[in-house]
Amino acid sequence: MRALTRTAIALVVATLLAACGGAQTFGLTSDDNNRDALTQALGMRQLPAKPGPVNATGKPMVFAVLGGKPRRLVAYDLAAGKAQWTVDADVQSRVAVGGDFVVAREGQQLVARDLADGKVRWQSPLGGDLVGVTADGTRAFAVTASGSGPKNKPVWRLAAYDGASGNELWSADAPGQLGAPAAQGGLVMSPFLKQWLTFLDAATGKPITRVRGLDEEISFVETTSDAAWFGSAFGVFRVDARAASGQRADATYGTTTLPKQLAKATWGADAFDPVQAGYSAADRTRILWRAPGSGGDDGMQFQDGLVAVHYFRFVFGYTPAGELRWAYSHPRVELVASAHLGSVLGAVSQRGEIVALDPATGALRWEGDLGVDKAQVLGATFDADGWQPSGGDAVDPGTTVAALIAIARDRDARFADVKELAISALASLPGKEVSAEIVGIIQDERTPPKLRDTAVEVLISRKDASALDVFADALAVPYDYITGSQPVAVAEVSKAIAGLAGLELDAGARTRATAALVALLESPRTDNPELVEIVKALAAIGDGAEVTPLRRMLMAYRADPMFGGDPKLVGAVVGALLARGGAAREWVAYVAEDPRTLDAVAQVARQALAKK
């Protein structure tokens, strides 16, 4: 009886799997995470001897899609610095590069074009919505989704096409969601239900093995010329024998800690998002990395010990621990596509500018232009692994400080968080030039209040003694009704000066700053909140020169209700005098006991004396 029951169950399971369709390729049960099988699959790959493009010419290329009616596709030769061809093409997906062809969705067709001139080579009906397309040297591969299953349930389908003719070579249906695939050296890798990465023979479609993610979902798969990678929103795995574990701890896994302002940045295009089957805004927030394609068991070692973060118009270089090393700010328009090409970071802007950045420093090594006039670039695909641009030494690389300042001063209101990030990053960078730039941002009336507050915090935290002359210059601006000049951000700059207490200061800068503070202390235009910070600054750097003007102020205003009604100001003046002791203390004692002193002032003075 028990044997019959087991047999019946087995028949039911077999029937259900068969009803799903394509169960042999994309089933819900399989021999997952088999290290030997994965090693066998990787042994089938035919990788180039050195990093290089996929296309058979070996030229570093970028393929850009231009908006407008009609849309256009541009093939740009990066080595020659010019477009190889431009054709009208209704491209609605990412462009995939094969050996002598490129392929993409155009309208409702999968269309292949000759690499040499962009002419249509073949086209094939998709039969559903495109999820993703990829190619290798001789074949194209596409995943589609349609409602043609039982009871009109969605069916996902992976199909291979001959790159020369467009004939369908094989296909496999899946009972659950397939993601955009990647092809490399005789293998096709297809994410399945965000849980598995299936490896298939590219020539036959035969499944070889698959990896099941145990710690993280598998939301994308990508290739470089020497390796393949998969990952999620949290990090990236190298496709090697260790990936068979399905776990971060036992795999070659890398991640990084990024500031909250860059939280949108992702490790790769979401293979299951139909919007990201084409170029989208998500391409403007990418983490770019490169690591050895093979190696030891010590985890992911990112090239240069850095990852780059492309964030709209900006690119930042970070250590895995989250330490900012460099920044790049692209002028005026957003970068719509980017890629780590090994030797450089490549990026294309909305208006067709192409830049190559040094991955270690962010320096601009090369720049070109698609020559697209007023057309807008919608997106682009790089096929330029290992590209070494020539003539880069002639381009001024700029500096990280300049880039961060440019970001902070940017007038685009969409990037408030990134501006805050840029200002915060300046806190650890040395040099009074940095402090001068921060003062300029604080003094700029167009700076948003939140960003201004961040800049003040950073300026104070820097404790930059070398910038005392910068602070003195900021405070020494005279009030002039005719010219309209006046000191700006008096309280904020005074707070920065107060933060220099106890530091070694240049004598000349100290004298100039003290004189500027005293002039503001005695100016009728200075309001009480500013006076409080001025007094604190004088106490911090005055070195005794503050005693006379503060004594004069206390004696002159001890019976003034405007002065006496502000306990913070009275307390600051009294405290600064008592800190000097000696005769200064005697003056405070005199004011505390003199019947002509306002009660509020006398009370503050008596309380301060009691504490001393």
Q: What is the model's pLDDT at position 395?
A: 53
Contacts of 60 (CB under 8 A, 6+ apart): 53, 77, 78, 79, 341, 383, 384, 386, 387
Q: What is the model's pLDDT at position 93?
A: 98
Which among 411, 417, 341, 335 has a CA at the least distance from the CA of 382?
Answer: 341
Which among 379, 368, 373, 377 has a CA at the least distance from the CA of 79?
Answer: 368
Distance CA 199, CA 463 (A): 57
Q: What is the pTM of this model?
A: 0.86
**DSSP 8-state symbol, 266:** B
Antiparallel, parallel or unpaired: β 61-66 and 72-77? antiparallel
The pLDDT tens digits for 82-106 are: 999 999 999 999 999 999 999 999 9
DSSP of 144-200, one letter per residue? EEES-SGGG--EEEEEEEETTT--EEEEEEESSPBPPPEEETTEEEEEETTTEEEEE
Q: What is the model's pLDDT at position 397?
A: 55
Distance CA 263, CA 233 (A): 10
Amino acid found at 475: L
Q: Which helix (H) or strand (E) holds 325?
A: strand 324-329
**φ and ψ at 299, to 5 degrees?**
85, 180
| pLDDT < 70: residue spans in the chain | 1-24, 148-151, 391-398
Domains of the chain by start residue, with CATH: 18-394 (2.130.10.10), 546-612 (no CATH)
**DSSP 8-state symbol, 255:** -
Which among 277, 347, 270 has a CA at the least distance from the CA of 308?
Answer: 347
Contacts of 43 (CB under 8 A, 6+ apart): none
**Other C-beta atoms lying within 10 Å of the C-beta of residue 91:** 27
CA atoms within 13 A on the CB side of 92: 13
The answer to whether 182 and 218 are in contact (CB under 8 A) is no
The answer to whether 436 and 455 are in contact (CB under 8 A) is no
The pLDDT tens digits for 306-339 are: 999 999 999 999 999 999 999 999 998 999 999 9
Structure tokens at 315: 């690119």
Could you check whether the bond before residue 549 is cis, i.e. omega within 30 degrees of 0?
no
- Produce one character per residue of 163-196: b if its CB has 16 or more CB atoms within 10 Å, e if not: beebeebbbbbbbbbbbbbbbbbbbbbbbbbbbb
Three-state secondary structure readout of 425-456 = HHHHCCCHHHHHHHHHHHHCCCCCHHHHHHHH
Contacts of 394 (CB under 8 A, 6+ apart): none
Which among 318, 314, 313, 264 has a CA at the least distance from the CA of 289?
Answer: 318
